């Protein structure tokens, strides 16, 4: 009997703490976020999305909450921008405010902000500037690069002619063509 009372008490305390945590977390973040549908604990707004047609679900929510609204995908907060004007305002007019990318904890732990693809802020600007300068030194943006692309386009046309109009999956051929352009810029040599 005592074990049942202790279990019940522990369960009530856990549920109370979870509800309190959910309400506290929502109330502290709600003031800074755009409006959106009320999320459920743990699963967020996933039940309100048709996972087979997500764009239609997002459009339906945009009609109700406007072009900028908040969704909870599980416990992950997501601000949705719907429509050209909302995206333009966020990325062009207020680009400095929306400069950073989402954080992925496992990549943060392994890369420590030094990766090319997942860095943010000033470090990203420095790496981008360095990468562009290095690529320009290798020939990007010069006439020689255009000639290399034209040359590779000729090889690509020849490769496609060899198929004699038979059905094919062009992914490998197109990937090789783009890799050959990069290799010709970096190593001054293409691979066959």
Structural domain of residue 174, as residue ranges?
Answer: 142-187
Note the helical H segments in 139-170.
143-161
Residues 7 and 101 in one domain: yes
- Contact of 152 with 191, CB cutoff 8 Å: no
Residues 7 and 91 in one domain: yes
Whether the pLDDT of residue 130 is over 80: the answer is yes
Residues 73 and 159 in one domain: no
3-state secondary structure of 129: helix
Residues 105 and 151 in one domain: no
In a domain, 117, yes or no: no
Residues 83 and 172 in one domain: no
Residues 87 and 147 in one domain: no
Per-residue confidence at 49, pLDDT binned at 50, 70, 90?
confident
Give strand ranges (E) for 34-122: 68-73, 76-81
In a domain, 122, yes or no: no
- Contact of 109 with 118, CB cutoff 8 Å: no
Cα 173 to Cα 163: distance, rounded to the nearest angstrom = 11
pLDDT digits (tens, 9 = 90+) for 157-190: 888 888 877 777 778 888 888 888 888 877 777 7
In a domain, 120, yes or no: no
pLDDT digits (tens, 9 = 90+) for 69-126: 988 888 788 888 888 888 888 878 776 666 666 666 777 777 776 666 666 677 777 8
3-state secondary structure of 136: helix
């Amino acid at each position: 009997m005592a074990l049942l009372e202790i279990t019940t008490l522990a369960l009530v305390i856990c549920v109370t703490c979870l509800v309190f945590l959910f309400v506290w977390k929502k109330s502290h973040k709600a003031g800074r976020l755009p409006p959106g549908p009320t999320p459920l604990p743990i699963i967020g707004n996933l039940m309100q999305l048709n996972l087979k047609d997500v764009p239609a679900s997002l459009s339906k929510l945009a009609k109700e909450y406007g072009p900028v609204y908040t969704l909870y995908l599980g416990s992950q907060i997501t601000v949705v921008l719907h429509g050209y004007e909302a995206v333009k305002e966020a990325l062009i007019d207020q680009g400095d405010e929306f400069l950073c990318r989402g954080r992925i904890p496992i990549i943060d732990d392994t890369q420590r902000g030094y990766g090319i693809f997942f860095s943010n802020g000033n470090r990203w600007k420095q790496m981008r500037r360095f990468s562009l300068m290095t690529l320009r030194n290798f020939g990007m943006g010069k006439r020689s690069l255009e000639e290399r692309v034209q040359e590779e386009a000729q090889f690509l046309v020849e490769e496609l002619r060899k198929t004699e109009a038979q059905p094919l999956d062009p992914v490998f051929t197109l990937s090789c063509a783009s890799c050959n352009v990069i290799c010709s810029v970096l190593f001054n040599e293409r691979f066959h």
